Amino acid sequence: MSGREYVDSVIQRVQKRDPDQPEFHQAVTEVLETLVPVFDRHPEYRKARILERITEPERQVLFRVPWQDDKGEVQVNRGMRVQFNSALGPYKGGLRFHPSVRLSIIKFLGFEQVFKNSLTGLGMGGGKGGSDFDPKDKSDDEMMRFCQSFMTEMFRHIGATTDVPAGDIGVGIRAIGYLFGQYKRLTKRFDGVVTGKGLNWGGSQVRREATGFALLYFVEEMLAGIGKKFDGRRVVISGSGNVAMYALKKAHELGATVVAMSDSGGYIHEPDGVDFETIRRIKEDERGRIKDYVKDRPGASYHEVCKGIWTIPADIALPCATQNELDGDDAETLVKNGCLLVAEGANMPCTREAIRVFHKNGVAYGPGKAANAGGVSTSALEMSQNSIMLMWTFEEVDAKLKQIMKNIYAAATRAADEYGCPGNLETGANIAGFVKVADAMLEQGLV
């Protein structure tokens, strides 16, 4: 059986087994299609059925989360944790609280996390979890009651050397605090069972900034690879959460100008450059909406259709909002407007058609599993600090983070060269992440 035949058979098997999970199918197809030359070169992976094993989670836990709102009414949400692969270390991956959460999305995120964590070079397996709970407009008491109920079930499945969740969409420092407090209450343990903790109780410097900063460090490497620099570049960033905000900050520090940002309601355009402190205040202090930005910035305009952000001419596009937000038509528009580079700050924000457009037109493309690995990298650094009961400075953590992103870029570039796809960071990242996990699975036997 050729590598192509083997890969196609596994994709068909996944689609047949879970026909109602399109996001998971998309993630599996995106990775496996780039691995064909690996299986032509390594028949031992086929013999050991590595793909059949790696596309099936080691464990999936679904549970009910009952909680009481401020009106005294009982609400019921669904919680879940998918522990995908532990060949390289304890399961590691975020929790997402959002109405869109369902098993297909959590499985796609967990599957991607396996290879992302592998690329960091740190000892982490892959997992993901969350709930269809919507934290928007919830009071602190409502968030606390929900998180306590969620952790009352999840605590029995996690641990500092077993499974270490972090934050994701809808899960910031407020939720992490309530989750950790309930874990400590139930187990009588104060350990590194979650990351993204407050600095006063086991957290790490740079954690809030990590994914956004690291995205720009990766883009810096990509630009160098095509003989370009940041100076004077115009950047469009979708989203306005932590990743987008701190990508904005680092882009300006590196000499670029961010001209547009968005949220689910619409986008802002400010040709002279979006102001970081105004965005930070609106989103972090006031928990407001992106449309509030124009009240304080007369040079900015607000537009209600958020997808329109990709019509703004820019040298660099950074999708940092959510999955499948940038489609083939958006990609064609970016190309037409002279975009040089696209790097994913979110998980799978570009559709397969969009990625094909980028490759066809020579637009440098940085896949999320490489470009947005900064968050989980800093989570691993937080775990390291917890284990030795020390706290590194901001500068120390930031330097380690920058080196990790350099290493990821180098590993993806080497793999792409080795397998005959020079410059293709998508293929290179998938192969580099996969081979490390596959070799560990072979060495650990049939588990």
Q: Catalytic amino acids?
A: 128
What whole-number distance in Å separates Cα of residue 396 and Cα of residue 154? 33
Helices 173-187, 140-154: crossing angle, 10 deg rounding? 50
CA neighbor of 175 nearest in space, from 98, 71, 64: 98
| Pair of tokens at residue 98 | 């959002």
CA distances from 135 to 188, 422, 441 (A): 27, 43, 38
Compute how many other C-beta atoms are within 10 angstroms of the C-beta atom of residue 336: 11
DSSP code at position 99: T
374 neighbors 402 (Cβ within 8 angstroms) = no
Q: What is the DSSP letter of 282?
A: I
Q: What token pair was written down for 72?
A: 């005294």
User: What's the token pair of residue 303?
Assistant: 């537009």
Contact in structure between 386 and 202 (CB atoms under 8 Å): yes
CA 173 to chain centre: 17
Cα dihedral 235, 236, 242, 246, rounded to 10, equals 10
Run of H or E residues at 149: helix 140-154
Cα–Cα distance between 73 and 26 in angstroms, integer?
38
Tokens of 74: 């009982």
Rounded Cα gap, residues 23 and 340, in angstroms: 28
d(C-alpha 212, C-alpha 210), whole Å: 6
Contact call for residues 124 and 88 (beta carbons, < 8 A): yes
- Phi, psi (degrees; rounded to nearest 5) at 94: -80, 170
Closest by CA to 367, choosing from 338, 406, 409, is 409
**Quick check: 130 and 96 in contact, CB under 8 A?**
yes
- What does the block give as tokens for 447? 């588990």
Q: Of 353, 347, 348, 304, which Cα lies nearest the Cα of 327?
A: 353
Buried b (16+ CB within 10 A) or exposed e, 31-42: bbbbbbbbbeeb
Q: Are strands 266-269 and 257-263 parallel, antiparallel or unpaired?
A: antiparallel
